[in-house]
């Protein structure tokens, strides 16, 4: 959960996961939809799918016990060099480096590694590996992370308080705040499209499931049109709608940023006069609008990612907040 997400944001989700699935076997037996629902709001949903897949491997192939070698951990779904190194060192006291962002910053400065990230990760990892002690590797890993977060900070590092200050090459050269060097950010393209939020007389909203692979795989969403460089005209949007109804376009747009692109969505709403689940849509939802359609009254039970929550809340602004973060 902490990959690319802060401790403050993760805390409530972590506690919720432990209550729902107190051990790896319980998580392995969970339904993926339930795992994605509990994860909804944290982003980077491949992490949730990988976590669930790794739990299944541990439960089914390792009798519920995690591999206790770096190579065995690295083979688990979603476990990369950093995670395998951190578990090896902290859980099993094996002499492997745990290279998080804080450790990267310390190592880049101590050795004055000036090549930009992410290309310099290999050089940093090799430099850190040479420092890892044979014993108390876990304490060393956590101490290095703390050193980066509390002393060797991105701005105005407290070099005079640093235990490695006298051997830090970057400090000696006066370039500590310039390191690590990050590659220039790529300009993210802008995509636009339309979303179609249908609600029946009892408040049930039509949701469909995204394909298992790809962006937001396995998550739920209202039916969407294609994402292109321009918004569809209203006449084009009505052709993209999942079924014929009185669709009304809401004022304003929904904006959301993904890692590689920005998204803007116009929202169309249809208020249906009767109970939708009394007359299932079946094949009436057009191809391309997802699969596994269902009418959902309690939206907190659906695995809706943040962008889809924004869309639903934009559709019904007078209803107040429809979603809450886990407590």
Q: pLDDT tens for residues 195-220?
A: 999 999 999 999 999 998 889 999 99
| Secondary structure class of 153 (helix, strand, coil) | coil
3-state secondary structure of 75: coil
CA-nearest of 209, 213, 207, 290 to 53 is 213
pLDDT score of 283? 43
* Local structure of residue 31 (DSSP, 8 states): -
Query: Contact 206/280 with Cβ under 8 angstroms?
Result: no
CA angle 197, 206, 274 (to 5 degrees): 95
More confident residue, 256 or 290: 256
Integer angstrom CA distances of residue 325 from 11, 138, 207: 11, 32, 20
Q: What is the Cα–Cα distance from 249 to 237, expressed in whole angstroms?
A: 10
C-beta of residue 93 within 8 angstroms of C-beta of residue 135 = yes
Average pLDDT value for residue range 19-37: 96
Length of the chain: 327
More confident residue, 264 or 318: 264
Q: Is the CB of residue 137 less than 8 Å from the CB of residue 86?
A: no
The pLDDT score that the predictor gives to residue 280 is: 46
Q: Where are the domains of the chain?
A: 7-178, 190-319
pLDDT, position 184: 87
Q: Check: CB of residue 218 under 8 Å from CB of residue 208.
A: no
Q: How far apart, in whole angstroms, are the C-alpha atoms of residue 194 and residue 30?
A: 33
Q: Which residues, other chains included, contact 252 with Cβ-Cβ below 8 Å and sequence gap of 6+? A: 314
Three-state helix/strand/coil letters over 207-274? EEECCCCCCCCCCEECCECCCECCCCCHHHHHHHCCCCCCCEECCCCEEEECCCCEEEEEEEEEECCC
Structure token pair of residue 186: 């790529």
Average pLDDT over residues 246-253: 96
Fold that domain 7-178 belongs to in CATH: Endonuclease III; domain 1 (1.10.340)
Q: In this prediction, what percent of the chain has a pLDDT beyond 90?
A: 84
State residue 119's pLDDT score: 94
Closest CA to 325 of 295, 297, 304: 304
Is pLDDT of 324 > 80?
no
pLDDT in tens, 90-149: 999 999 999 999 999 999 999 999 999 999 999 999 999 999 999 999 999 999 999 999
The reported pLDDT for the residue numbered 4 is 83
239-254 average pLDDT score: 95
The lowest-confidence range among 67-71, 217-221, 234-238, 277-281 is 277-281
Mean pLDDT of the region 300-310:
93
Task: For the domain made up of 190-319, give the CATH fold.
Answer: Nucleoside Triphosphate Pyrophosphohydrolase (3.90.79)
Question: 32 with 49: CB under 8 angstroms?
Answer: yes
- Shortest CA distance to 194 belongs to which of 268, 130, 92, 295? 268
């Amino acid at each position: 959960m902490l990959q690319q997400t802060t401790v403050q944001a993760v805390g409530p989700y972590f506690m919720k996961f432990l209550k729902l699935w107190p051990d790896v076997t319980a998580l392995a037996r969970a339904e993926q939809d339930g795992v994605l629902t509990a994860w909804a709001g944290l982003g980077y949903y491949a992490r949730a799918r990988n976590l669930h897949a790794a739990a299944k491997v541990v439960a089914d192939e390792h009798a519920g016990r995690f591999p206790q070698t770096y190579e065995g951990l690295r083979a688990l779904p979603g476990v990369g060099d950093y995670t395998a190194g951190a578990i090896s060192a902290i859980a099993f006291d094996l002499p492997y480096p745990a290279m998080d962002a804080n450790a990267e910053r310390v190592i880049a400065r101590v050795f004055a590694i000036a090549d930009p990230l992410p290309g310099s990760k290999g050089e940093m990892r090799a430099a850190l590996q040479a420092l890892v002690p044979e014993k108390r590797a876990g304490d060393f890993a956590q101490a290095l992370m703390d050193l980066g977060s509390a002393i060797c900070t991105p701005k105005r590092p407290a070099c005079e308080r640093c235990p490695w200050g006298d051997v830090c090459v970057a400090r000696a050269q006066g370039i500590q705040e310039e390191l690590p060097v990050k590659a220039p950010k790529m300009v993210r393209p802008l995509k636009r499209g339309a979303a179609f939020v249908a609600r029946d007389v009892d408040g049930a909203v039509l949701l469909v499931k995204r394909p298992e692979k790809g962006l937001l795989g396995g998550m739920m969403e209202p039916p969407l049109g294609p994402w292109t460089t321009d918004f569809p005209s209203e006449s084009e949007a009505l052709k993209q709608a999942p079924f014929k109804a009185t669709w009304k376009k809401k004022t304003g747009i929904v904006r959301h940023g993904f890692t590689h692109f920005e998204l803007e969505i116009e929202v169309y709403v249809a208020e249906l006069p009767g109970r939708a689940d009394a007359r299932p849509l079946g094949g009436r939802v057009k191809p391309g609008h997802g699969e596994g359609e269902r009418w959902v009254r309690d939206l907190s039970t659906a695995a809706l990612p943040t962008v889809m929550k924004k869309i639903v809340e934009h559709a019904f602004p007078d209803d107040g907040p429809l979603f809450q973060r886990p407590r």
